[in-house]
Amino acid sequence: MMILHRLLQQRAVAGQPVRVGLIGAGKFGSMYRAGHAERRRIARNHSS
């Protein structure tokens, strides 16, 4: 998993992140997306 994590980081730095879409996930998908956005915000604040 660490290799995958490193490759994803390299793509993000290069401005080519992997994009994922949620289609038809309903309320669970909305909650997952909201939680993901919050985790990204927290990670950004901790890495600065």
Q: In the chain, where does DSSP find H-type helix? A: 2-13, 26-47
- Structure token digits, residue 11: 């793509």
Give the predicted TM-score (pTM) of the model. Answer: 0.43
pLDDT score of 34: 82
What are the sequence ranges of the domains in the chain?
20-48
Amino acid 48: pLDDT: 56
Q: Which residue has the tokens 């956005």?
A: 37
The closest of 3, 8, 29, 4 to 19, measured between CA atoms, is 8
Model pLDDT for residues 1-48, shown as the tens digit of each residue:
689 889 989 998 999 988 877 777 788 878 887 887 787 777 777 765
Q: How far apart are CA 14 and CA 26, in angstroms?
A: 32
